Amino acid sequence: MGRVINFSAGPSALPLEVLKRAQSELLNTHQSGMSIMEMSHRSKSFERILHEAKKRLRSLMNIPDSYKILFLQGGASLQFSMIPLNLLQKDNEAAYLITGSWSKKAYAEAKKVGDATIFASSEDDAFRSIPDFAESTLSKRTSYLHVTSNNTIEGTRISVFPKTNNNIPIVTDLSSNILSEKINVTDHGVIYAGAQKNLGPSGVTVVIIREDLIGKTEATTLPTMLDYAIHAKADSLYNTPPTFAIYMINLVLEWVESIGGIEDMERRNRKKAQLLYDAIDCSKLFSSSVKKENRSLMNVPFKTKNEELDQAFLHFAASQKLVELKGHRSVGGMRASLYNAMPLEGVERLTDAMTQFEKRST
Ligand SMILES: *Cc1c(COP(=O)(O)O)cnc(C)c1O
């Protein structure tokens, strides 16, 4: 059929079943006689899709009723600004756990809005680890603590979130590992994720926010489109939402249900990651510089002994239809993204290619 094994970090592979379903419904979605893309966002048909997507996400992630689910635009990157604009209160500060490029960007945006401080950082270690942190160092005037749960570029993951007993809400960028492992939603005040890694196509960002954190800002100058309260009140229909992307999320969520939910997804993901890390650890050619306890289940950066060999491996992999394995430009080498839609067989094909390549080049 000409499809490749796509290890892209994002936008990334979608389940084939989901793509086929979307294809089969493209011209006539839910017997409406029109495509989802041609349908009014105020129509009953679309409202049903929006409602279903929220209901599925709520059930899969076990999101209590005291949290709102919003579908917004502007990517996870706009959340870097919306979070401080909505949550950072006057005379308070926002604390940031700096674990990689994305958290650095989030911190930089918060500094434009108000007082932002670094809670802990692993930049000295080139982000190869999650830094130690002590919750007791947080000022009482902290409006929230921001963390990036999975560092897409550097390949690390937070396995134990800071505990602030909800006195200080934790705001979590879950863009690259949402729905990949079990998360206790009530440990977080806000969770947000751009869709294009584990949820669907780009163009929509999911925000899960505790109701008491909505409408906190004193600023009367907050633009309407940047105000969580407006979107919450309008049920994500204040203006035209990204209807096709929300439709796709609903199909992806249905697919996650068919796999058995998040626990089964996590089991699959752990197996996939283990297979690749074992191959790297057993190899004399390939290596990973990430601290073992902090390894990501979703994004696995690895290298050979030099850039030339990296290039040769990327070539060899591509000849076997294993694509998008080039590492992020800031890290180099290779990176395999093993999001939910990557089947175990895809990782098996990759580890086979690594073994073959190592034999050939030694
Ligand atoms: C991809 C990514 C982002 C940026 O997402 P956009 O939707 O492109 O703005 C932010 N944070 C993390 C952890 C990411 O992986």
Residues 143 and 279 in one domain: no
- Please indicate whether residue 197 is annotated as part of the active site: yes
Residues 136 and 253 in one domain: yes
Identify whether 198 is part of a domain: yes
Could you give the number of structural domains in the chain? 2
Report which residue type is found at 272: K
| Domain membership of residue 104 as a residue range | 17-258
In the three-class reduction of DSSP (H, G, I as helix; E, B as strand; rest coil), residue 171 is classed as: strand
Instruction: List the chain pLDDT tens, one digit each, 362 residues.
Output: 689 999 999 999 999 999 999 999 999 999 999 999 999 999 999 999 999 999 999 999 999 999 999 999 999 999 999 999 999 998 999 999 999 999 999 999 999 999 999 999 999 999 999 999 999 999 999 999 999 999 999 999 999 999 997 689 999 999 999 999 999 999 999 999 999 999 999 999 999 999 999 988 766 789 999 999 999 999 999 999 999 999 999 999 999 999 999 999 999 999 999 999 999 999 999 999 999 999 999 999 999 999 999 999 999 999 999 999 999 999 999 999 999 999 999 999 999 999 999 999 87
Residues 254 and 268 in one domain: no
Q: How far apart are CA 57 and CA 253, in angstroms?
A: 7
Residue 75 Cβ < 6 Å to ligand 1 = yes
For the CA of 150, the closest atom of ligand 1 is 13
pLDDT of residue 97: 98
Identify whether 3 is part of a domain: no
pLDDT of residue 1: 63
pLDDT of residue 166: 67
Residues 245 and 100 in one domain: yes
Max CA-CA distance within the chain?
66
Identify whether 232 is part of a domain: yes
The sheet with strand 170-173 has its strands ordered as 67-72, 205-210, 190-194, 170-173, 142-148, 93-98, 115-121
Residues 215 and 308 in one domain: no
Residues 178 and 220 in one domain: yes
Query: Which spans in the chain are helix H?
Result: 16-25, 44-61, 75-87, 101-113, 228-233, 243-259, 262-282, 307-319, 344-360
Residue 12 Cβ < 6 Å to ligand 1 = no
Q: How far apart are CA 325 and CA 342, in angstroms?
A: 13
pLDDT digits (tens, 9 = 90+) for 49-87: 999 999 999 999 999 999 999 999 999 999 999 999 999
Q: How far apart are CA 251 and CA 235, in angstroms?
A: 20
How is 57-85 classified by DSSP, letter by letter?
HHHHHT--TTEEEEEESSHHHHHHHHHHH
Helix (H) or strand (E) holding 301: strand 299-302
Which of 54, 68, 102, 310 is an active site residue?
102
Residues 114 and 216 in one domain: yes
pLDDT of residue 125: 97
Residues 277 and 330 in one domain: yes
Identify whether 132 is part of a domain: yes
CATH number at 138 reads 3.40.640.10
Contact 198, 177 (CB under 8 A): yes
Q: Whose CA is nearest to atom 10 of ligand 1?
A: 76
pLDDT of residue 361: 87
User: At which of 208, 226, 258 does a domain end?
Assistant: 258
Place of tokens 């949550």: 87
Tokens representing 293 are 């306890």
Q: How far apart are CA 215 and CA 10, in angstroms?
A: 32
Nearest to 335 by CA among 299, 304, 305: 299
User: At which of 258, 289, 311 does a domain end?
Assistant: 258
What count of other Cβ atoms lies within 10 Å of the Cβ of residue 26? 12
CATH number at 280 reads 3.90.1150.10
Nearest to 252 by CA among 44, 66, 11: 11
Residues 127 and 247 in one domain: yes
Identify whether 7 is part of a domain: no
In the three-class reduction of DSSP (H, G, I as helix; E, B as strand; rest coil), residue 43 is classed as: coil
Residues 148 and 287 in one domain: no
Percent helix, strand, coil in the chain (nearest 5)? 40, 15, 40
- Please indicate whether residue 255 is annotated as part of the active site: no
Q: How far is CA 302 from CA 115, 211, 276, in A?
A: 37, 41, 10
What count of other Cβ atoms lies within 10 Å of the Cβ of residue 293? 10
**Annotated binding-site positions:** 42, 76-77, 102, 152, 173, 196, 239-240
How is 17-39 classified by DSSP, letter by letter?
HHHHHHHHHSSSGGGSSS-GGGS
Residues 48 and 172 in one domain: yes
Contact 183, 174 (CB under 8 A): yes
Identify whether 83 is part of a domain: yes
Helix (H) or strand (E) holding 4: none
Identify whether 8 is part of a domain: no
Identify whether 9 is part of a domain: no
User: At which of 240, 258, 276 does a domain end?
Assistant: 258
CA of 203 to the centre of ligand 1 (A): 12
Q: Whose CA is nearest to atom 14 of ligand 1?
A: 175
- Please indicate whether residue 173 is annotated as part of the active site: yes
Residues 80 and 200 in one domain: yes
pLDDT of residue 221: 86
For the CA of 151, the closest atom of ligand 1 is 13
